[in-house]
Chains A and B, each alone.
Chain A
Amino acid sequence: MAQSFSATVLAVGYQDNWGQILTSAFMRNALIGGTLVALAAGLIGYFIIVRNSAFAAHALAHIGFPGATGAVLLGLPVTAGLAVFCVGGALVIGALGKQADEREVATGTVLAAATGLGLFFSSLATKSSSTVTNVLFGNLLAVTHQQLVMFGVALAVIAVVVAFVYRPLLFASVNAEVAEAKGVPVRVLSVIFMALLGLAVTMAVQAVGTLLLFALVVTPAATAILLTARPGVAMAVATALAVVSVWAGLTLSAVFNVPPSFVITTIVCTVWLIVWLVAQRTGRDRGAPAASHGAPVVEA
């Protein structure tokens, strides 16, 4: 343990040519790609929290894993494999039990099955090890022009649909029963939301990877909700947090030669922790009554 730790420290070092790195073509792609992903994450993150779907978002990232490794195996674009599995998985989760408890077990089971399948696919493929690392931890620095086009299209779809369904989706998310009684098509909206979530996860996996996705898609929104309870403002704050974290993460990764996913995740989580601690201290923004005082969930 001590050995590998010191080896890591040795690999981290100041790069005096960082200005050059920042202006290079691959960094430009990384900045554009990261920004598109952060915008999508910000748009969808608030709804993930309000709908109690954080676990579904986490699971979808894992469900994308066999999609990505399977695509490599078949010689298809990784994005396509991810999209099929994430959006498909999202629709399946959406169709599963309405009851939250039921859904958690079902989601977790599908998650485990998918991760196992992804491992199997990657063991079949010959040159898979770098793909596996990229899918698990993301690699913004390797984003291609083709991926940027797909990110742009996916973001446009998410933005247009969210703008169209914003109020009914918020209504159905905050109080499904009241919304249903008002004639809002709660089930249709649930399917639409899961499809959008699948799209956002497809994008975000390529930026920060399966294992770190939560930090970019869910945590900024959670931080924003601690700061404000105005839905529109919370979405704007979440988006700004995600975008700034991606930019800062890429810049610091160029300066110190560390993986961008690590820096992005660290920034997002640190900001969340600080805001959470301040909110606890002031007591102004306590969570839902059941989970308030006494039992901090800081480990999460």
Chain B
Amino acid sequence: MSPPDDAAAPAAPALSFDDVSVVRGGRLIWSEGTFDVPSGGIIAVIGSSGSGKTTLLHAVLGMIPTASGEIRVLGKPPGAATGLIGYVPQNYAAAAGNAIRARDAVMLGLTGNRWGFGRADAEQRRRVDEILDAVDATEFAGRRLSQLSGGQRQRIAIAEALVGSPRLLILDEPLTALDVRNQRGIVGLLARIGEEFGVTIVVVAHDLNPLLGILDGAIYLLDGHAHFDTMDEVVDEGLLTHLYGTSIQVVHTPQGDLYMRSV
């Protein structure tokens, strides 16, 4: 165990890529990823379909090896940092949802990697209650996962990822399959979580628009290479047009809102 960081010590970057390439199924997915993502803030992972966004997450999570180069997650190799990461996959609880309550699923985020017989103690239950409250899920936490709406289930998935006090929260397409109101709810929740818990948030998203207001930067997969830049640089018509392979226009409304559209 390394000594806990104190305020004086410079925080390690949330993600640090050094000439990383990833191969899956014998195919080079992307390469030459060299960048640091500073800790704190909300970062998107963007790129066209099949450009390797989920593959990038899996490499960060240590679920697949890198073909070359080195990834450091909060200063540690992937796989060694699992305790510091909360993960919300794309298809949360698709199958087993009717056999378990939402609250039990969140508890597993805290105790699910512990061996041996043991009941949840009062402190663990209090922690689960606290997180359920933080994501506004207390009301429906006693119900089965299968009885929850998509937006409610996404809140439970986030609670399950957050309950272990991660420093990095990774979400894979959290807004897909949600209606506009629920999208807004989850985006607002992410912004709040980032501040309240001091956690760096990485969001894979095929549609940037709902997230534009809260993002600090983006990892983008362009022409088989991985890059990172701040949002000011990424929200660029030329770059986005190249990235999505269709003409993109960036619109600033008089109200100060920002969105992009395909023209």
Q: Does A170 contact B (CB under 8 A)?
A: yes
Tell me, yes or no, whether A49 is within 8 Å of chain B by CB. yes
Are B112 and A46 touching (Cβ within 8 A)? Answer: no
Number of interface residues of B (CB under 8 A): 41
Identify B113's interface contact among A52, A183, A225, A231, CB under 8 A.
A183
- Could you give, for residues 99-119 of chain B, a 1 whenever the CB lies within 8 Å of some chain A CB and a 0 otherwise? 111001100110111111110
**Inter-subunit contact A49/B112 (CB<8 Å):** no
CB contacts (< 8 Å) of A225 on chain B: these are 98-99
CB of B161 within 8 Å of the partner chain = yes
Q: Residue-by-residue, is B63-95 near A (CB-CB < 8 Å gives 1, otherwise 0)?
A: 100000000000000010011010111011111
When C-beta atoms are compared, the residue in chain A nearest to B157 turns out to be A178
B residues bordering A, Cβ < 8 Å? 61, 63, 79, 82-83, 85, 87-89, 91-101, 104-105, 108-109, 111-118, 143-144, 146-147, 157, 160-161, 164, 170
Tell whether, in the assembled complex, residue A175 and residue B98 are in contact, meaning their CB atoms are under 8 Å apart: no
Given known pairs A178-B87, A181-B63, A229-B101, the reply for A173 and B96 (CB within 8 Å) is yes
Complex: how many Å from CA A182 to CA B114?
11
Can you sample 21 A-B contacts with CB below 8 Å?
A50-B99, A52-B96, A164-B117, A168-B113, A168-B115, A170-B112, A171-B112, A174-B108, A175-B89, A177-B89, A178-B88, A178-B157, A178-B161, A181-B63, A181-B170, A182-B87, A184-B113, A225-B99, A286-B147, A288-B97, A289-B146
A175 touching B105 in the complex, CB below 8 Å, given contacts A166-B117, A287-B98: yes
Determine if A39 is an interface residue (Cβ-Cβ < 8 Å).
Answer: no
* Contact assessment for B113 and A171 in the assembled complex, using a CB-CB cutoff below 8 Å: yes
Q: Does A281 contact B (CB under 8 A)?
A: no
- Contact A230/B87 with A164-B115, A179-B113 known, Cβ cut-off 8 Å: no
Q: Which of B91, B96, B147 contacts A174 (CB 8 A)?
A: B96
Give 1 or 0 for each of A153-180: 1 = CB within 8 Å of chain B CB. 0000000000111111011011101111
The distance from the CB of A239 to the nearest CB of chain B, in whole angstroms, is 16
Q: A234 in the interface, Cβ–Cβ < 8 Å?
A: yes
Cβ-defined partner of A171 (8 Å) among B91, B101, B108: B108
Chain A residues with Cβ below 8 Å from B88 are 178
User: With an 8 A cutoff between CB atoms, is A285 at the interface?
Assistant: yes
| A174 and B100 contacting across the interface, CB-CB below 8 Å | yes
CB proximity of B167 to chain A, nearest CB, Å: 14
Cα distance A134–B70 in the bound complex, in angstroms: 60
Q: Which residue of A lies closest to B102 (CB)?
A: A229
Residue from the list B82, B99, B101, B147 in contact with A182, Cβ < 8 A: B82
> How many residues of A are in contact with the other chain, CB < 8 A?
35
A19, B157: Cα distance in complex, Å: 56
Please tell me if the beta carbons of A167 and B85 are within 8 angstroms of each other in the complex.
Answer: no
Neighbour of B99 across the interface among A49, A168, A177, A183, CB < 8 A: A49
Q: CA of A177 to CA of B172 in the docked complex: distance in angstroms?
A: 11
Task: Name the one of B97, B109, B118 contacting A178, with C-beta atoms under 8 angstroms.
Answer: B109
- Please name all residues of chain B whose beta carbon is closer than 8 Å to the beta carbon of A180 when the two chains form the complex: 61, 63
Question: Chain B contacts of A164 at CB under 8 A?
Answer: 115-117
Residue of B nearest to A222 (CB): B99
Measured CB to CB, the closest approach of chain B to A144, in angstroms, equals 33
Residues in chain A near residue B116, CB distance under 8 A: 163-164
Name the interface residues of A280-299: CB closer than 8 Å to any CB of B. Answer: 285-289, 292
Contacts of B164 in A (CB 8 A): 182
B79, B99, B117, B161: the one contacting A229 at CB < 8 Å is B99
> Which chain B residue has the least Cβ–Cβ distance from A283?
B147
**Least Cβ distance of A158 to chain B in Å?**
14
Q: Given known contacts A51-B96, A177-B87, A231-B100, what 19 new A-B pairs fall within 8 Å (CB)?
A: A50-B96, A163-B116, A166-B117, A168-B112, A168-B114, A171-B112, A177-B91, A181-B61, A181-B170, A182-B87, A183-B113, A225-B98, A229-B99, A229-B100, A229-B101, A230-B104, A231-B104, A288-B97, A288-B146
Q: How far is the CA of A289 from the CA of B161 in the complex (A)?
A: 23
Distance in angstroms between the alpha carbons of A171 and B111 in the assembled complex: 9
Contact of B117 with A183 in the complex, beta carbons under 8 Å: no
Complex contacts, A292 vs chain B, CB 8 Å: 146
Chain B, Cβ-Cβ closest to A234: B99
Residues of B within 8 A of A170 (CB): 100, 108, 112
Interface residues of A in 1-58 (CB under 8 A from B): 46, 49-52
Of residues B61, B113, B143, B161, which shows the largest number of chain A Cβ atoms within 10 Å of its Cβ? B113
Known contacts A178-B87, A181-B63, A181-B85; is A165 also within 8 Å of B100 by CB? Answer: no
